[in-house]
Amino acid sequence: MTEKPMTDLDNLRVVLVATRNPLNIGAAARAMSNFGVRRLRVVNPYEVAFREARSAVGASGLLAKAEQYDGVAEAVADCKLVVGTTVAGPRRDLQHRLLRLDDGARAIKRQLKTARVALLFGSERYGLSNQEMSHCHWVMRIPTREEHGSMNLGQAVAVCLYELVRGRKASPAKAMSEKKEKTSPTSGELERLTQVLLEVLQASGYVKPRAVAAEEKLRRLVRRMELKANDAEVWLGMLRQIAWKLSAGE
């Protein structure tokens, strides 16, 4: 543990149990990297798979630093919370408390502030066995369709980590400033736009001269566009050019 922990996520250990396919180990590692989770542990992987995954072109430092264990007990020994994962399905022998993924993620995030948490993913074909599950405090379920009983490992890891990361940087200040970035046009600007549009439509014969209701309709139409100031300017420029061309053609 030489690197300084930068976020709560550094307390998370993703634990792949009995993974068979090297591509899946690599895919799980990529999902971890995408969401800023750096500590991978593998339990009893198919030996060749683990070697291949590590030596794959582009394999990350994350894979190189992955820790290997012979059993779940050893892999989670230093963790205060151990959470299993499963998909929806007709698994009737599940002995654990089952949480929705979003509820589970909330509980995990609380724990990560102060302690290590292990998140377990089972083998591609069978998921976590009851023996492996027995190390878990509870299990969280990815809300997949029951009829489709399995899920790609890399995708399962991606979805769970997304749920952990989701909304973490919800800085309201930032959202505010982004909203302010694009200002609305003034009513005066919108009215100029309306008038040029009216002029163009009269010149083109779409609107009869002195059709009073038409002007009101156009005014409402322009307001309904809910233009930002910069777009309003673009529209005004376009319409002025059209107006000029129409008058030049007369």
Q: How far is the CB of 83 from a copy of itself (least distance, A)?
A: 17
Which of 56, 71, 162, 195 is close enough to bind a copy of itself by CB under 8 A?
162
Whole-angstrom distance, CA of residue 216 vs CA of residue 13: 63
Binding to a copy of itself by residue 184, rule CB under 8 A? no
Per-residue interface string for the shown chain with a copy of itself, residues 40-79, x marking contact by CB under 8 A: ----------------------------------------
Buried b (16+ CB within 10 A) or exposed e, 118-154: bbbbbbbeebbeeebbebbbbbbbbebeeeeeebebb
The DSSP letter of residue 116 is -
CA angle 115, 116, 120 (to 5 degrees): 145
**49 in Cβ contact with 22 (< 8 Å):** yes
For residue 15, list its beta bridge partners: 41, 120
Whole-angstrom distance, CA of residue 157 vs CA of residue 231: 42
Which of 18, 133, 227, 236 is close enough to bind a copy of itself by CB under 8 A?
227
Binding to a copy of itself by residue 84, rule CB under 8 A? no
Binding to a copy of itself by residue 174, rule CB under 8 A? no
Which of 55, 95, 152, 187 is close enough to bind a copy of itself by CB under 8 A?
152
Binding to a copy of itself by residue 216, rule CB under 8 A? no
Which of 151, 190, 193, 196 is close enough to bind a copy of itself by CB under 8 A?
151
Q: Which is nearer to a copy of itself, 11 or 44 (CB)?
A: 11
Q: Among the residues of the chain, which ranges form H helices?
A: 22-34, 47-55, 61-64, 72-75, 101-112, 130-133, 153-165, 172-181, 187-203, 212-224, 229-248
Q: Footprint of a copy of itself on this chain (CB under 8 A)?
A: 27, 30-31, 33-36, 87, 100-102, 142-145, 148, 151-152, 154-156, 158-159, 162-163, 165-169, 200-201, 203-206, 221, 224-228, 231, 234-235, 237-238, 241-242, 244-246, 249-250
